[in-house]
Amino acid sequence: MILITRLVTIIFGLFLVNIGIQHFRDPEWFEPIVPSVLGNPKFWVYLSGLFEIIFGIMILIEPLRKYGSLGISLMLIVLYWANLNMWINDIPIGGVKLNFFEHIMRGIIQILLILLSLYIGRWPPFAKEI
């Protein structure tokens, strides 16, 4: 179980770093879903990309893992606002509009990623596991 957890942690950390890098390589892809009330979408895309890179690296480093995973969980909760904005305002991402089922699946995946992050950091309800 420990080996599987380590592998999942490495994959998840590298996935986050890659997604964070994509925020800098192609910010225009992410900009449409930034809630307009925030203004300056490019700034928010870059900022969220930076946090994804930082937290992705943090969970790869054992002494930083617990706090990196908490950061990921909080970030995913905050970033769901962009997903909700995309759903409510029927905003395409990458030129594609999602249907009702796809938005529901996106929300479920977001919840699962939050739980995975809490598991990796051994936060409740997973504090006694692993």
pLDDT tens digits, 17-48: 999 999 999 999 999 999 999 999 999 999 99
- What are the extents of the domains in the chain? 2-120
Best CA proximity match to 68, nearest among 47, 48, 51: 51
pLDDT tens digits, 87-120: 999 999 989 999 999 999 999 999 999 999 999 9
Amino acid residing at 97: K
Amino acid residing at 58: M
Tell me which residue has tokens 């509009």.
Answer: 97
Best CA proximity match to 52, nearest among 18, 16, 11, 10: 16
pTM of the model: 0.91
